[in-house]
Amino acid sequence: MGINEYDPRGQFISFHNRQQRWAVLVCHRRAGKTVACVADLVLSALVTSKQDARFAYVCPQYNQAKDVAWTYIKRLTSDIPNVQYNESELRADLPNGARIRLYGADNPDRLRGVYLDGVVLDEFADMRSSVWGEVVRPMLADRKGWAVFIGTPKGHNAFYDCWQDAQMDIDWFRLMLKASESGLIDASELKDAAKGMTDDQYAQEFECSFEAAIAGAYYANDLKEEHVREVAYDPRQSVYTAWDIGYSDDTAIWFWQMSGNEVHVIDFYSANGHGVEHYVNMLNEKGYNYAKIGNKPFLWLPHDARAKTFASGGKSTQEQFMSYGYSSRIVPELSLQDGINAMRMMLPKTYFDRQKCFDGVECLKLYRREYDDDKKVFRDKPLHDWTSHAADAARYMAIAYRVALPEAQRPEPKYAFRGTENGMKTLTLDEMWALTPKRSTRI
């Protein structure tokens, strides 16, 4: 099916004819949204009067882009004379100078630096939403490019916000297609699909419900929406930080303060591809009243911060922070399950600042178990994706925050901090709590 034979599904005609610069399509699975959006890009690329027009199709993961969208792009451009494909860059070059290229939101740096005349963000609910604000949106500014957000819902995250905000805005085109109304999938097929899914999964994937619980989510029941609100920084109170350090992956950092019995999470930071100096500058710029040991501000680091790294002349991350005047402690190593339990116990008294913690909270909402598509069951381990790093750092926060409590407020039985000398030993929360302090932890 080349672009000449492309026969749009009736449900998408209003989309192809839209006048608005922005569009959001919330459509059930197999509605044909990916095909419609790829066709829309190809049509735009063909009719554009701009010189060297650039179009992009962004999927959550580069590999997905290759599997699905690239096949559609090649098919829908196959009847354009002299079209050229660059297989290693997943790029189609049209004879009028326009180019369509595929990207993965898992590697947004590849995108940086180019302008765009039009972009589709496919399965936006599964992406780190900052890819839009920080990377894609600025690229559209130069040439007033357009954007389309498509996907199925994943709870109240950035895709939901996009759908809601678009409602009030005349610059936005909106379309929702539910399977019960679109007529695109026949009843017996839908019934069959429903068999392998929970009610929530079906409501989300086929009925476009933003309210359905995210299947396999770890914190869905514990992270309440009213706990994400404005949380003021109190300069009189110490600020603690818990870190998950990525060497090739993301580094994620939570910033919190204690307020009576409540945990006030005032900030979140994540980045990748930087050395220790970058993070030291970031801490200085934020300028919080960091908790101190002696006169040195201190950080809660993950156990792997003790490992020596080649890159830094055989110094560990912990040692590098030390050379910048920071002291640190290693978060006691708990099993994943115990860490998750610690998080669940902490969440009812934890409040997150809506703005500064936005990216991190999104990760927490989406952090979920891996799904086995063949067996139709969830595996007993988390899906490793862009949400994992913030979720790991949050587990460390949930373990570490107790140590910072005045002794009288610590949960019973008393939780003892055993410091780095025992850090490698895996202790369950119960085991840890059962320990008596070996030394006082005046932090």
Ligand X SMILES: Nc1ncnc2c1ncn2[C@@H]1O[C@H](COP(=O)(O)OP(=O)(O)O)[C@@H](O)[C@H]1O
* Closer to ligand X by Cβ: residue 148 or 299: 148
Give the tokens for residue 369: 């178990």
7 binds, among Mg ion, ligand X, none (CB under 5 to 8 A by kind): ligand X
Q: How far is the CB of 144 from ligand X (least distance, A)?
A: 27
437 binds, among Mg ion, ligand X, none (CB under 5 to 8 A by kind): none
- Strand duo 369-372 + 91-93: pairing: unpaired
350 binds, among Mg ion, ligand X, none (CB under 5 to 8 A by kind): none
* Closer to ligand X by Cβ: residue 26 or 343: 26
Q: How far is the CB of 258 from ligand X (least distance, A)?
A: 46
29 binds, among Mg ion, ligand X, none (CB under 5 to 8 A by kind): ligand X
The structure tokens 């003790």 sit at 306
Residue nearest to ligand X (CB): 32
* Closer to ligand X by Cβ: residue 29 or 344: 29
Q: How far is the CB of 185 from Mg ion (least distance, A)?
A: 14
Q: How far is the CB of 31 from ligand X (least distance, A)?
A: 4
Residue nearest to Mg ion (CB): 34
* Closer to ligand X by Cβ: residue 29 or 137: 29
Is 226 exposed, middle or buried (CB count within 10 Å of its CB: 0-12, 13-18, 19+)? exposed
Q: How far is the CB of 46 from ligand X (least distance, A)?
A: 17
374 binds, among ligand X, Mg ion, none (CB under 5 to 8 A by kind): none
* Closer to Mg ion by Cβ: residue 177 or 266: 177
265 binds, among Mg ion, ligand X, none (CB under 5 to 8 A by kind): none
Q: How far apart are CA 248 and CA 64, in angstroms?
A: 21
CB contact set of 261 (below 8 Å; sequence gap of 6+): 349, 409
Q: How far apart are CA 340 and CA 412, in angstroms?
A: 19
* Closer to ligand X by Cβ: residue 28 or 368: 28
Q: How far apart are CA 345 and CA 415, in angstroms?
A: 14
Q: How far is the CB of 120 from Mg ion (least distance, A)?
A: 10
9 binds, among ligand X, Mg ion, none (CB under 5 to 8 A by kind): ligand X
419 binds, among Mg ion, ligand X, none (CB under 5 to 8 A by kind): none
Name the residues that contact ligand X, by CB under 6 A: 7-9, 27, 29-35
Q: How far is the CB of 10 from ligand X (least distance, A)?
A: 9
* Closer to ligand X by Cβ: residue 120 or 399: 120
Name the residues that contact Mg ion, by CB under 5 A: 34
Q: How far is the CB of 6 from ligand X (least distance, A)?
A: 6
Q: How far apart are CA 209 and CA 178, in angstroms?
A: 9
Q: How far apart are CA 167 and CA 156, in angstroms?
A: 15
* Closer to Mg ion by Cβ: residue 34 or 387: 34
Q: How far apart are CA 277 and CA 371, in angstroms?
A: 38
432 binds, among Mg ion, ligand X, none (CB under 5 to 8 A by kind): none
Q: How far is the CB of 56 from ligand X (least distance, A)?
A: 17
* Closer to ligand X by Cβ: residue 9 or 50: 9
